[in-house]
Amino acid sequence: MDKDTIERLRKRASQHFLDSIAVKQEAEKVLPEAVAHGVLAMVDCLKSGGKVMACGNGGSAADAQHFAAELIGRFERERQELAAIALTTDSSILTAVGNDYSYDEVFSKQVRGLGKKGDILLGISTSGNSKNVIKAIEAAKKMGIKIIALTGNGGGKIAGLLDKDDIHLCAPSTRTARIQETHLVLLHGLCDGVDHVLLD
């Protein structure tokens, strides 16, 4: 690899760090209070025997699974297992519902099948416009399930579905990668807050 190519790639990699830092600094100005509300909602839900159901597509599916793993397993400290499930992992459910109904229904049918009043739906969509996440939110709201929505891009259509009982964490960017990177900080902030309330 010639030196010019290395330098060009080094600059691009450097710019990713700088752009990511800038979005996170903006997010830090506007989102921490909503994270605090999200933490308290989750602790209330979990202490009352509820569970957190998480869903999203692509990178956000990975985020949903990452978050469920940290609640069931652990974040930074040992504690009791917490009830969380990612709706993105059962390939038989995803393929059957996607094939027989529509991909738009893959999360909403699981919400109706598994969810109960008092649970929380953690819906993750960088655009705020993924139809299967929207339908999951609509299903959850009909069942008395509170929504914590992680979005970006101004919140997209999801922003219009939420009411004052829900929690909206909208990353201040229009770029999917930057939004995803901010979502990870938000998810770790939620984990840390839950541990703090339960353990300290």
Ligand X SMILES: O=C(CO)[C@@H](O)[C@H](O)[C@H](O)[C@H](O)COP(=O)(O)O
Residues of this chain that bind ligand X (CB under 6 A): 57-60, 125-127, 130, 133, 176-177, 180
Between 20 and 57, name the residue whose CB sits nearer to ligand X. 57
Between 186 and 194, name the residue whose CB sits nearer to Zn ion. 186
Spatial contact of 148 and 38, defined as CB atoms under 8 Å apart: yes
By beta carbon distance, the residue nearest ligand X is 58
- 59 annotated to a ligand binding site: yes
- Residues recorded for the chain: 200
Q: Work out how close the CB of 195 gets to ligand X at its nearest, in angstroms, rounded to a whole number.
A: 27
Dist CA 85 CA 68 (whole Å): 5
- 181 annotated to a ligand binding site: no
Q: N- to C-terminal Cα distance for the chain? A: 52
Give the position of tokens 């109706």. Answer: 112
Give the position of tokens 């655009």. Answer: 127
Spatial contact of 171 and 183, defined as CB atoms under 8 Å apart: yes
If one asks whether residue 19 binds Zn ion (CB under 5 A), the answer comes out as no
- 193 annotated to a ligand binding site: no
Question: Could you tell which of ligand X, Zn ion, none binds residue 44, using a CB distance below 5 to 8 A set by kind?
Answer: none
If one asks whether residue 184 binds Zn ion (CB under 5 A), the answer comes out as no
Residue 104 has which token pair?
């738009």
Question: Residue 129: in which H helix or E strand, if any?
Answer: none
If one asks whether residue 118 binds Zn ion (CB under 5 A), the answer comes out as no
- 130 annotated to a ligand binding site: yes
Between 146 and 178, name the residue whose CB sits nearer to Zn ion. 178
Q: Work out how close the CB of 184 gets to ligand X at its nearest, in angstroms, rounded to a whole number.
A: 12
- 48 annotated to a ligand binding site: no
Order of strands across the sheet with 52-56?
84-86, 52-56, 120-124, 146-152, 167-171
Work out whether strand 52-56 and strand 146-152 pair parallel, antiparallel, or are unpaired.
unpaired
Q: Work out how close the CB of 86 gets to Zn ion at its nearest, in angstroms, rounded to a whole number.
A: 17
If one asks whether residue 66 binds Zn ion (CB under 5 A), the answer comes out as no
Q: Which residues are annotated as a binding site for Zn(2+)?
A: 66, 70, 180, 188
Q: What residue ranges bind Zn ion (CB under 5 A)?
A: 59
